[in-house]
């Protein structure tokens, strides 16, 4: 663990998962953007999927290992599909909100 720079991580967390970004900044619920407005929230979700896709592309560019590249390509494609599904949900919500409502 020391050889790869993870000695401090092991000291604090053993082999447990500890969610942090590539710079070691811990995950926090403050990262979740939710307004209660479904259109604004879906736009936030779309942006998050695109950011994840870009991150996978950066990781693909950092490795020469074919197996790692294949796994990262799969994960990148998954983000594209998520983006498409959130886009479909956004269209559905906008259609619903644009309809006249009779109660």
Domain ranges of the chain: 7-98
Structure tokens that stand for 2 in this block: 């020391």
This prediction has a pTM of 0.71
What local confidence, expressed as pLDDT, does residue 29 receive?
81
Given 3-state DSSP classes, what are the helix, strand and coil percentages for the chain, each rounded to the nearest 5? 65, 0, 35
Q: Which residues pair with 64 in a beta bridge?
A: none
Query: Which residue is listed with tokens 């796994």?
Result: 71
- Please answer whether residues 87 and 46 qualify as being in contact, where contact means their C-beta atoms are separated by less than 8 angstroms: yes
Chain centroid to CA 9: 23
Query: Which residue is listed with tokens 């983006």?
Result: 83
The mean pLDDT value of the chain amounts to: 89
| Tens digits of residue pLDDT in 36-49 | 899 999 999 999 99
Judge: domain 7-98, CATH 1.10.600.10.
Answer: no
The mean pLDDT value for 62-67 works out to 96
């Amino acid at each position: 663990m020391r050889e790869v720079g993870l000695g401090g991580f092991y000291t604090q967390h053993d082999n447990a998962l500890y969610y942090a970004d590539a710079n070691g900044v811990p995950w926090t619920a403050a990262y979740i953007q939710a307004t209660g407005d479904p259109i604004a929230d879906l736009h936030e979700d779309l942006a998050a999927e695109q950011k994840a896709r870009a991150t996978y592309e950066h990781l693909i560019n950092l490795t020469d290992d074919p197996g790692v590249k294949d796994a990262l390509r799969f994960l990148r494609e998954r983000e594209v599909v998520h983006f498409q599904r959130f886009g479909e949900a956004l269209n559905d919500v906008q259609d619903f909100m644009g309809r006249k409502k009779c109660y």
